[in-house]
Structure 1
Amino acid sequence: MIEDTTVGYSIIPLLMLLTSLVPGLIIFTLPEPAVRTRTVLNMTGAILKVAFVIALIPPVIQGTLLQWRAPLVPGVDLLLSTDPLAMLFVGLSAPLWLATTIYAIGYLEKAPNRSRFFGFFSLCVTATTGIALSGNLLTFLLFYEMLTLVTYPLVAHRGTGQSLRSARTYLIYTLSGGGLLLFGVAWLTYVVGPLEFDAGGIDAVGRLAAEDPVTATTIFVLLIAGVGVKAAIFPLHGWLPQAMVAPAPVSALLHAVAVVKAGAFGIIRVVHDVYGIGVARDLGVLGPLAALAAFTIIYGSLQAITKDGLKQRLAYSTISQVSYIVLGAAMFGIAATTGAIVHIVHQGLMKITLFFCAGLFAETLELHKVSELGGVGRRMPLTATCFTIGAFGMIGLPPVAGFVSKWQLGIGALEADQDWVIAVLMTSTLLNAVYFLPIVYTLWFVKPKPDAHWHTPVYRQRNRIEAPGALLWPTVAVAALAVIAGLIAGFPYSPLSIAELIGDDGYPGR
């Protein structure tokens, strides 16, 4: 439990935001040939953000809370705050932004419109950082809507008819969700006043729930529906598979760091830091939310089995895996909450590994379908090894981090007397194996097709390197982190240890 919190008013949360905002705004002004300047700006901002995270996590865990405020309207501030949940989310996004930046520089080396891409790329990370550091609902809303607007150009980046149609679908879904969220935030603020996040729930919201449960429940549904679009909960998930037309670095960012993770993070904030888990349970909203998450878990896995497109299969896997976070948040138990929170990090590490690998298969060998991957492990052994690690983690095999998340969720289900959740987790694990193990088997044990262009002697003679280092080494690094996060789960400052502190602090009587 986090005790004796010391609040310090500091510019550091603002500086964490500016490490991506300032480089992004400058990059927009750069001509296309300014490769070195663009790279320096990208890398400097990413490294500074990681440095801030490393420096802040120990004092934040020990109880120091840094805040930065600026008045927006009378009585309502723009509030950035470094509470433990915020630092866990920033602790995911900062290093993965660094890895994705290196990867994107290599991936888009000869592509047009790089200044536009990296400008919006940096603004996307700025919005994600703002969501993580938001100390009240209004600040969260502003950065949440900013994320919608700055990711649209990334989805549409290729400029093809298909990418523009997919980007429009993405925008329709996310703006609709944003409208519901705006309505819910405005209504709740009107009824109870300005709302600053508080572990265990906001007292004024608890009083509203006791006095007018119908209004409190209706607002809860609006807020969850609003953030549930980005979390891709069924039936609000339709935008996600279509967004896979985006370049691989964007897909990795959407799935592992930014959009879907912002939605899941928002659900945790609403359940635990706005309403409070006890109030939400008394309102009777947790059961339906858990049931919807469970359905999404199974639905996403069943859809993934049917997809031959590698990125499409990974997209439906994300729909399933992110709902683990929602399911854990909706169970009344510390272990379940811990599992939900730590899966934000663990799923991000594993999913970014898988999308990096998919990008390498596409960029190096022009392979986009599962059925085309026969024997690729012999041509690209490091990439295939990384994909195997990510796949095993998604299934929940030790020592990869995904095992830790599922274990915590299972313990949480028993703690909450929700035995049916164990059945959901077991079914999901089996389905994960059904759609991931055939890919692993195909990579390593199926012979290449006779007409595979990349398997000809001439091609192998001209292309002896597995992949460019800017693409390969970030992939190896994030795969290694997915294993390390599993191995160090019991150590101080590990994602699990931070998640345990957050989960323990948000329960009544703790």
Structure 2
Amino acid sequence: MNLAPEQMLLSAILIPALAVFGIILTGRWANIRELVSIMAGLILINLVTGLYQIVADGGLIAYQGPELFSGLTIAFAIEPLGMLFALVAGYLWLVTTVYSIGYMRGHKEEKQTRFFACFAVAISSVMGIAFSANLLTLFIFYEILTLSTYPLVTHSGTIKAKLGGRVYLGVLLTTSILFLLLAIIGTWFVTGSLDFRDGGLFDSSTLGAAAVLLPLYIFGIGKAAIMPFHRWLPAAMVAPTPVSALLHAVAVVKAGVFSVLKICVYVFGLDTLRQLPTTDYLLYLAAVTVLLASIVAMRQDNLKARLAYSTVSQLSYITIGALLATSAGVVGGAMHIAMHAFGKITLFFCAGAIMVAAHKTEISQMRGLGRQMPITMIAFFIGSLSIIGLPPTGGTWGKWFLMIGALDAGQGVIMAVLMISSLLNIAYLLPIPIRAFYPNDDVERPTGIKEAPLPSLVALSVTAAGCIVLFFFTGPLYELALAILS
């Protein structure tokens, strides 16, 4: 299949959307329906890999779509940050699809066709966000992502799921309409452009407006889950575990922090950010989010709830990287998008595997579980190391560059926050696998291996291995992150 670069770009956005029709048409035949999802995932990986090779060779890929308003068009272009995000989402969609097959069948979930169809729409919107060439395009696909994931959050149809979905939809739509849309309109009136541009759109004559618009962007991108607009994320944990993996690693939260980083770099520009009085206030708010969310995570006995608050904390690492307005901070934030994705998706995969195989959701119930589910708990240990930022896992590199970025910015407080946060990560993550393998003598130890269904087990093993691979072979991601600044 020889496609022009522009055709490959559009295909990367359209293939998941087209897969929706195949999934719906084959809904009554589960094997064929799931094969459609897997084939679409493989095609998407081939496309994003091909696009990466073109970008790595210095190629420029852009597509100008229809004009919606005077001077405002739907447009796509590939830059290094978007390419990094697309690679992460593209590869993890396939892995999550394989995991979902085992989970949805093992848990005997209903409405599986709708689940896989909405999942595909979400990935299509993620590709649109990743390759957006202007704020209008990003906003449109950002809203499609919110709407397409709402049925996934409320999948079980219970009252609790509907309440969680209401919070999810309410917070994300309210922040995007009241703050993000207002910020975009303000940017248009002040600068006359919505295009993403190297160095940003603002200059010395518009610093006052930029100082006002920056908080609107940070709070308007509710998917970044900065406090106090984070409640949607714990509320969404009523969803099936594959959806939690989608929310935390593949799509929703990553779309949020990606948007924060992209807007800070290509709308404001690092030079402008350093001059804004509101930058430091937002930086310290992100630091507070890191610490408070970690403290709340320590108090959660429900595993998914603990992981949810961990994600709230970890997302603010990337927001910090953007607001430090240093080269190392941007590189660290970009790399943390990928590293956190592999680490956190592994942890959620393990949480789902434990529920399906052992029917346990509370951490206090998991003592001694390592003997029954050794592969799952080893994977959980590896994922935990990556989230903490310890070698030999990929999470080490994101935190390393964030620390350097804080040092370059002269932000000793931020450096202290990052170090304290890593200690809190250890406190709320490592005791889980340790107790699973080394329970107290008075705890009844499960016997006999009873792992999750094979597709789920394969998926969590692949992502756990990915955490280690990214430590030793991080070159391509680092080069993409570094190219953001060129």
> Is TM > 0.5 for Structure 1 vs Structure 2?
yes
Alignment of 1:181-260 (within 5 A): 181-202=180-201, 205-206=202-203, 210-227=204-221, 229-260=222-253
Q: State the 1:449 CA deviation.
A: 7.2
Q: Which moved more, 1:182-191 or 1:145-154?
A: 182-191
Q: Secondary structure at the match of 1:70?
A: strand
- Is 1:308 the counterpart of 2:290? The answer is no
1:469 maps to what in 2?
454
Q: Which has the higher mean CA deviation after the structures are superposed, 149-158 or 466-475? A: 466-475
- Do the aligned partners of 2:331 and 2:482 also contact (CA within 8 Å) in 1? yes
Aligned to 2:275: 282
1:15-30 map, 5 Å:
15-30=11-26
Instruction: Give the secondary structure class of the aligned counterpart of 2:198.
Output: coil
- 2:473 alignment counterpart: 488
Match of 1:80 in 2: 76
Tell me the secondary structure at the aligned position of residue 95 of structure 1.
helix
Q: Counterpart of 2:224 in 1: which secondary structure?
A: coil
Contact 2:215 2:282 in 1 (8 A): no
Decide whether the 8 Å contact of 2:353 with 2:451 is kept in 1: no
State the distance in 1 between where 2:98 and 2:378 align. Answer: 20
Residue type of the partner of 1:115? T
1:112 aligns with 2:110: yes
- The 1:369–1:63 alpha-carbon spacing in structure 2 relative to 1, beyond 3 Å, is same
- Equivalent residue of 1:27, what SS? helix
Q: Distance in 2 between matches of 1:189 and 1:118?
A: 37
Q: Name the aligned partner's letter for residue 461 of structure 2.
A: V
Name the residue aligned to 1:100: 96
Distance in 2 (alpha carbons) for counterparts of 1:187 and 1:405: 33
Any conservation in 2 of the 1:200–1:273 contact (CA below 8 Å)? yes
1:137-152 aligned at under 5 Å gives the runs 137-152=135-150
Separation in 2, partners of 1:17, 1:384: 36
SS in 1 for 2:430: helix
Counting only pairs closer than 5 Å after superposition, residues 37-76 of structure 1 correspond to structure 2 as 37-73=32-68, 74-76=70-72
CA distance in 2, matches of 1:487, 1:258: 25
Tell me the equivalent position of 2:324: 331
| 1:45 alignment partner AA | A
Q: Which amino acid aligns with 2:469?
A: I
- 1:147 aligns to what SS in structure 2? helix
Partner Cα separation in structure 1 for residue 21 and residue 288 of structure 2: 41
Aligned to 1:230, the other structure's residue is in SS state: helix
Q: Please state whether the residue corresponding to 2:61 is helix, strand or coil.
A: strand
Q: Equivalent residue for 2:481? A: 499
Cα offset, 1:191, TM superposition:
3.3
Name whichever of 340-349 and 435-444 sits farther off. 435-444
C-alpha RMSD over aligned residues? 1.6
Check 1:302–1:469 CA distance in 2 against 1; reply closer, same or farther (3 A cut): same
1:428 and 2:421 matched: yes
Contact 1:28/1:116 (<8 A) preserved:
yes
**Is the partner of 2:223 in helix, strand or coil?**
coil
Distance in 2 between residues matched to 1:216 and 1:422, nearest whole Å: 26
Q: What is the alpha-carbon distance in structure 1 between the residues aligned to residue 411 and residue 455 of structure 2?
A: 46
Moved beyond 4 Å, runs of 4+:
447-452
- 2-side partners of 1:163 and 1:451: how far apart? 33
CA distance in 2, matches of 1:25, 1:72: 27
Cα-to-partner distance string for 1:156-197 (whole Å, 9 max, x where unaligned)? 000000000000000000001110211211222233323211
Q: Which residue type is aligned with residue 147 of structure 1?
A: L
Question: 1:192, 1:415 → 2: CA distance?
Answer: 30
Tell me, in whole angstroms, the C-alpha distance in 2 between the residues paired with 1:466 and 1:211.
Answer: 62
- Residue aligned with 2:67, SS: strand
Partner of 2:403: 410
Q: How far apart are the structure 1 equivalents of 2:441 and 2:33?
A: 39
- Contact persistence 1:224–1:270 (CA under 8 A): no
Instruction: State the secondary structure of the residue aligned to 2:460.
Output: helix
Corresponding position of 2:169: 171
Matches within 5 A, 1:273-422: 273-422=266-415
CA distance in 1, matches of 2:80, 2:381: 32
Relative to 1, partners in 2 of residues 1:250 and 1:444: Cα closer, same or farther, differing over 3 Å?
same
1:439 match: 432
The answer to whether the 8 A contact 1:11-1:67 is kept is no
CA contact (8 A) 2:248 2:345 kept: yes
Change (3 A) 1:248 1:316: same
Structure 1 residues 434, 117: CA separation in 2 closer, same or farther (over 3 Å shift)? same
Offset, 1:335: 1.1
8 Å CA contact 2:270, 2:326 repeated in 1: no
Cα offsets for 1:447-497 (capped at 9, x unmatched): 597678xx36xxx4xxx55221110001000110111101123x3x2x123
Contact 2:5 2:51 in 1 (8 A): no
Q: Aligned in 2, Cα 1:72/1:29: closer, same or farther, shift over 3 Å?
A: farther
Could you list the runs of 5+ residues in structure 1 that have no partner in the other structure? 1-7, 506-510
